Structure 1
Amino acid sequence: MSDDKFDAIIVGGGIAGTVAAYLLAKEGLGVLLIERGNYAGSKNMTGGRIYSHSLEKIMPNFAQEAPIERKITREKISLMTDESNVTLDYYSDLLGVQGSDSYSVLRGVFDQWLQEKAEEAGAEIIAGIRIDDLIVRDGKVCGVIAGEDELEADITILADGVNSLLAQKLGYRGELKPDQVAVGAKEVIELPSSVIEDRFNCRGNEGTAWLFAGTPSAGRVGSGFIYTNKESISLGVVSTLSDLVQGNKSVPQMLEDFKNHPAIEPLVKGGKLIEYSGHLVPEGGLAMVPKIIGDGVLVVGDAAGFCLNLGYAVRGMDFAVGSAECAAKAVLAAKEARNFSEGFLQCYQSFLNESFVMKDLTHYQKFPHFLEETPRIFDGYPRMAADMMAELFVMNGQPAQPLMKNMMKHIKKVGMLNLAKDAWKGVRSL
């Protein structure tokens, strides 16, 4: 066993882990961060964006230094069928205002930068090490076990991702439930920046975030996504596990079909595949948050289930930063009081409750259930939207019919009552 005892050991080098390490090391604590991959972000395959507001508070003007890809100034939401795509397209300079802006990122690069910031602040980081278990004495977590090595600390922070085996070993949560997680597959496709700007109507360093419902997830609960990077695009699909097992199409096949859709194929034409990956995504919202506080231990980020999919926006990275900040505040208070008991560490929950993390999770707690119990969002409504657009724009020489009559026949296929109920439940859940 090592003679050294750290103030804090952090397991996991994603955004939550590296931000927690940075904040604690900056305050002079002895911090060890342990990452299973070869470097921070090496095992994180998330393709997406970070909303800047949370990290901006901790590292003002971080985007001027960080390896971000593009500032998102265009939001697109599509309802897709096999042969059509109906899109809402929103462009605004308001999306790029500092403090409320967001950026596409490649996590393998971005997380390494966060690791470097944590190291500069004084954190010690070890990569390529798997934590097999936790040191627990009389119910208190006292450190970690890696092979034959034991490393002790006053506090251990679990930031080891959605499938946190360490939290499970502590009994803080059971096996993940199929309706709480989604399976995602993603490709990073290399394209020249000029081609991306032309195809996605971007200016300079501006970019697009594009979410799809319908065909990408084979008409089941899930979505497709595209995020533009500087010289590549991140393209993928996600499908809730509980729905996936009931279908007859695998996630890799969903991804291939999505990429070859007539609305998508021209966007990726000529591109070079440079990464293919899969991952689990927490989708249960507040209902899947496990026990996150114990004697000598805190749980943060995806390991705590802090993620939110609203259909029109997916948030996880800002929650990772926010929970890391709250955890750091709790650890600093515990250090000052020399009290790392579960009772004292309840201040972590108090900090979370005061932050956007718990407020937003609470506000939207009904939305995951709404998506799960409203399959028409993923099959009936995309078809209805496509058929209504066809009525407007397809001219075949037949005598014109009253617009309302044409629209109503497609609405009736879904059902007026169903439409009204779904609208009411959707608004209430938001």
Structure 2
Amino acid sequence: MHDFDSIVIGAGPSGISAAITMARAGMKVAVLERGPYPGSKNLMGGVLFTNVLDTLIPDFIARGAPVERHVSKKTLSILSRDAETAISFRTRNWDAPPHNHSFTVHRARFDRWFAKEAEALGVELYCGVVADELLKDGDGRVRGVRTRMPEGQNPSEGDLTAPVVILAEGANSLLAEKEGMKEPLKGHDVAACVKEVLKLPVSVIEDRFGLDGDQGAAMEFIGEATSGVPGAGFIYTNRDTVSIGLILFLEELSAEGISPVDALDRFKAHPAVAPLIRGGELMEYGAHLLPETGFNKLPLLAKDGLLLVGDAAGLISTSPRHEGSNFAMASGMLAGEAAAEAFKAGDFTAASLSSYKRKLEESFIMKDLEHYR
């Protein structure tokens, strides 16, 4: 007898999407989150494409999803040392639902809301949990997770069993590496994202970016934005803050001898950028790694009793749209569907769970990854 029908490791968009999908299929699901709450380790303040969220929770706005602004204006800027060439696009159509399925969000807030939606469906969420290793039966099939938690914080510390485990740990998926599903990330497989969140009055944001009401702007920058390192810059408007940052390929960044902090400071000082953020109060700073393995280096996605989703599987877009969260939600939903089908059939072998890969291949995820490889 198992403790759960499925255990998900990681309470980000991919893990929660998988949990919601499985719970709706009648499965008893546990989600294990290393941080003190979902989103506690996430630094993203950016654009969330809600195509998949519309499928999972069609009334997400009415249910209080903490979106900041709908994106009504998109800009691509090419920067030289002291000048800018920009292309902007906006349409009134984006001001009406579904708002082109594009909203700015603070992931720390969004992830907590999303996890509560899963809990409302009966998903059990355990935070502050470290998943040390996977449990296996005598034939090597995964049968659960060995957990470790801060002393006194959880009565469920120890072994938790389930016939299928979904790894949604993020880019540094150590369990997936231990299982031989993926190789450790190398410098040429990784980009560094460095970001600040700056507080500005709502009226100032709307004036500087030409916005009104709930309208928002998403700006992408290339050229001198990245100090000669391959990558891109971005600015996204939230309600009363602005998210500004760079995505820089790690190997080239190291070769140039430039620190991410220095590169971000140069970007912020550019004549096309500085006026937009002038007077902003620093609210948050952080950096994290993004897998850039792409279509040609996808890991093993399914083993007996085990599935790999989201950033852990390298399923993040290298296109200018930066569709990380959208890809994460879609892969989690599809993995949840595959697990639910296996649950119904009573078959959690790799052959049964391989329907997940087929679903991915039929989805926009693989099509986009192949297009931008």
**TM-score normalised by length of structure 2:** 0.94
| Distance in 1 separating the partners of 2:188 and 2:91 | 35
Equivalent residue for 2:237?
228
SS at match of 1:154: coil
What does the per-residue CA deviation read over 1:147-187, in whole Å, with 9 as the maximum and x for residues that have no partner? 37111111100000011111001011111132221001100
Query: In 1, Cα distance between the equivalents of 2:296 and 2:235?
Result: 28
Counterpart Cα distance in 1 of 2:76 and 2:61: 26
User: Does structure 2 conserve the Cα–Cα contact (< 8 Å) formed by 1:52 and 1:99?
Assistant: no
Q: Deviations over 1:74-94 (max 9, x none)?
A: 111111122112211111134
Q: Which residue number corresponds to residue 141 of structure 1?
A: 142
Distance 2:50 2:108 in 1: 18
Indicate yes or no: 2:135 matched with 1:127.
no
User: In the alignment, what sits opposite 1:23?
Assistant: 21
Are the counterparts in 1 of residues 9 and 168 from structure 2 also a CA contact under 8 Å?
yes
Q: CA deviation at 1:134?
A: 1.1
Q: 2:330 aligns with which of 312, 319, 322?
A: 322
Deviation string, structure 1 residues 263-289 (Cα, Å, up to 9, x no partner): 222211221111111111122321232
More helix by share: 1
Deviation per residue, 1:311-366 (Å, 9 max, x gap): 3x21111111111111111111101110000011111111112221122222332x
Q: Is the 8 A contact 1:76 1:89 kept in 2?
A: yes
**Unaligned 5+ runs, structure 2:** 149-156
Distance in 2 between residues matched to 1:308 and 1:192, nearest whole Å: 32
For 2:66, the equivalent position in structure 1 comes to: 67
Work out the CA distance in 2 between the residues paired with 1:351 and 1:338. Answer: 19
**RMSD, matched Cα:** 1.5
SS of the residue 1:314 aligns to? coil
The equivalent position to 1:252 in structure 2, one of 261, 277, 291, is 261
Map 1:14-93 to 2 at 5 A: 14-64=12-62, 65-93=64-92
Task: After TM superposition, give the deviation of residue 99 of structure 1 in Å.
Answer: 7.1
2:114 corresponds to:
114
Larger deviation, residues 338-347 vs 129-138? 129-138
Write the deviation string for residues 49-85 of structure 1: whole angstroms up to 9, x where unpaired.
1111111112113133210011001111111122112
Pairwise CA distance, 1:18:
1.1
Distance 1:304 1:195 in 2: 40
Q: Measure, in 1, the Cα distance between the counterparts of 2:296 and 2:73.
A: 31
Structure 2 equivalent of residue 307 of structure 1: 316
Contact 2:14–2:310 (Cα < 8 Å) also in 1:
yes
Q: Give deviations 1:86-116, integer Å, cap 9, x for gaps.
A: 2111111344551732001100000000010
Distance 1:118 1:110 in 2: 13
Query: Whole-Å Cα distance in 2 between the matches of residues 149 and 214 of structure 1?
Result: 51
Q: TM-score, normalised by structure 1?
A: 0.81
- Letter aligned with residue 368 of structure 2: D
Shift of 1:4: 5.5
In structure 2, what residue type is equivalent to 1:277? G
Work out the number of aligned pairs and report it.
362
> Which of 350, 355, 368 is 1:360 aligned to?
368
SS at match of 1:331: helix
Distance in 1 between residues matched to 2:356 and 2:177, nearest whole Å: 20
The code of the aligned residue for 1:81 comes to S
CA distance, structure 1, for counterparts of residue 312 and residue 188 of structure 2: 16
Q: Percent identity?
A: 40
Cα distance change on mapping 1:99 and 1:361 into 2, 3 Å: farther
Out of 328, 340, 343, the position equivalent to 1:332 is 340
Which whole-Å CA distance do the structure 2 matches of 1:127 and 1:225 have between them? Answer: 31
Give the letter for the 1:16 counterpart.
S
Structure 1 residue runs of 4 or more that deviate by more than 3 Å after TM superposition: 94-97
Structure 1 distance, partners of 2:105, 2:23, is: 25
Q: Give 2:102's aligned amino acid.
A: S
> Equivalent residue for 1:395?
none
Q: Which amino acid aligns with 1:331?
A: A
